Amino acid sequence: MSDSRVITGVEKTEIPETTALKDFLSLIKIGIVNSNLITTFTGLWLAIVFTNKHFFQSLDIVFLTLVGSGLIIAGSCTLNNYIDRDIDQIMHSKRKRPTVTGKISAGKVLSLGLFFVILGLILLFMTTVTAGVIGIIGVFSYVVLYTMWSKRLFVSNTIIGSIPGAVPPLIGWAAVDPHLHTVAWIIFLLMFIWQPPHFYALAMKRCEEYRAANIPMLPVVKGFKTTKNHMVVWVALLLPLPFFLFSLGIPFVILATAFNIGWLVLGLYGYKMKDDLKWARLMFVYSLNYLTIIFVAMVILTLIK
């Protein structure tokens, strides 16, 4: 089950002792799958609320949407691991992936990724054609536009990669209501804008790894100062979005605005901090909490509204 072309970049002593389950979860990037399923469910939930449908009477749609979305996300991440296995062996943080250690052969990774994507799309098309088409767009933009094309060529790769990351709530909404409401597009925009500051913070932390792998991430090409400027601008772009979501209730608008301002203040504080990497870690952690709290709040606050 080894891939000799890949494993040459990893010393034998570095190969970790892992279970088949851990290797599988690493292959599909379970963290990304879980976080995207939160946004998918939120889009689905809000569509049910806005169309005055009943959640428990829509359990078939809920099941097909969440399983289908989970499969195309897991499949896309698996294909990403397959394509990036040459550069992952150079990056220390990614050397334990089974595609690098050789614990899962490249052929099996490719087959599994394609199987998951195809099965997931079939399930999404069983909800609505719109959900299936958006699913295709998400897979294509992540696997082809980001992983295969822009990631290794352009500093704008993070922005291009933000497209598939913003698709899940649209899929969730479209599975219930193919006539996408304005709220669905605002949530898509929120997710799109959220990603650059989130991933730029991560890129700052792993700057030398990306440099070694010759990946033109913004901190590598333009430096930390320019990256900070970009991050602050992107966070500032989030400020007006809650005011287009009054239909979710005033408490949500207040909460989202407070979190936006808090993130912007932390971003501006980065100009005073001497430790850029510490600031990047703070921005990264804030972005994770921001995403979880904002999307969970959309569900809870509409539930008690």
When pLDDT is averaged across residues 81-88 and rounded to a whole number, the result is 94
For residue 143, the tally of other CB atoms under 10 A from its CB is: 22
The pLDDT of residue 105 is above 50: yes
Whether residue 142 contacts residue 164, with contact meaning beta carbons closer than 8 Å, is answered with yes
When pLDDT is averaged across residues 28-57 and rounded to a whole number, the result is 95
Residue 214 tokens read as 């010759």
What lies within 8 Å, CB to CB, of 192 at 6+ separation is: 162, 163, 165, 166
When pLDDT is averaged across residues 58-86 and rounded to a whole number, the result is 97
Whole-number pLDDT of residue 3: 42
Tell me the residue type at 196.
P
Residue 95 binned pLDDT confidence (cut-offs 50, 70, 90): confident
Tell me the residue type at 289.
N
Residue 102 tokens read as 């050789």
Tell me the residue type at 21.
L
Whole-number pLDDT of residue 279: 97
Whether residue 26 contacts residue 99, with contact meaning beta carbons closer than 8 Å, is answered with no
How many Å apart are CA 51 and CA 177, to the nearest integer? Answer: 8
Residue 14 binned pLDDT confidence (cut-offs 50, 70, 90): low
Residue 20 binned pLDDT confidence (cut-offs 50, 70, 90): confident
When pLDDT is averaged across residues 187-191 and rounded to a whole number, the result is 98
Distances, alpha carbon 247 to alpha carbons 9, 57, 179, 251, in Å: 53, 23, 17, 11
The pLDDT of residue 2 is above 50: no
Measure the CA angle with vertex 263, ends 198 and 209; round to 5°. 30
The contacts found for 212-219 with CB under 8 angstroms, 24 or more apart, are 212/90, 212/91, 213/87, 213/90, 213/91, 214/87, 214/152, 215/87, 215/151, 215/152, 215/157, 216/152, 216/153, 216/154, 216/155, 216/157, 217/155, 217/157, 217/158, 218/155, 218/158
Residue 45 binned pLDDT confidence (cut-offs 50, 70, 90): very high
Buried b (16+ CB within 10 A) or exposed e, 39-54: bbbbbbbbbbbbeeee
Tell me the residue type at 103.
K
Residue with tokens 């992540």: 142
How many Å apart are CA 161 and CA 216, to the nearest integer? Answer: 13
The pLDDT of residue 120 is above 70: yes
When pLDDT is averaged across residues 228-254 and rounded to a whole number, the result is 97
Q: How far is CA 60 from the centre of its chain?
A: 25
The pLDDT of residue 204 is above 70: yes
Residue with tokens 């792998």: 213
Overall pTM surpassing 0.75 (yes/no): yes
The pLDDT of residue 144 is above 50: yes
Whole-number pLDDT of residue 92: 86
Whether residue 169 contacts residue 39, with contact meaning beta carbons closer than 8 Å, is answered with yes
What lies within 8 Å, CB to CB, of 165 at 6+ separation is: 36, 142, 191, 192, 195
What lies within 8 Å, CB to CB, of 181 at 6+ separation is: 47, 50, 173
Which of these ranges, 8-17, 27-36, 124-133, 241-250, has the smallest mean pLDDT?
8-17
Domain ranges for the chain: 1-180, 182-305
Among residues of the chain, what percentage have pLDDT more than 90? 89
Pick the CATH number of 1-180 from 1.10.357.140, 3.30.460.10, 3.40.50.300, 3.40.50.410: 1.10.357.140
Q: How far is CA 84 from the centre of its chain?
A: 17
DSSP 162: H
Whether residue 231 contacts residue 196, with contact meaning beta carbons closer than 8 Å, is answered with yes
The pLDDT of residue 155 is above 90: yes
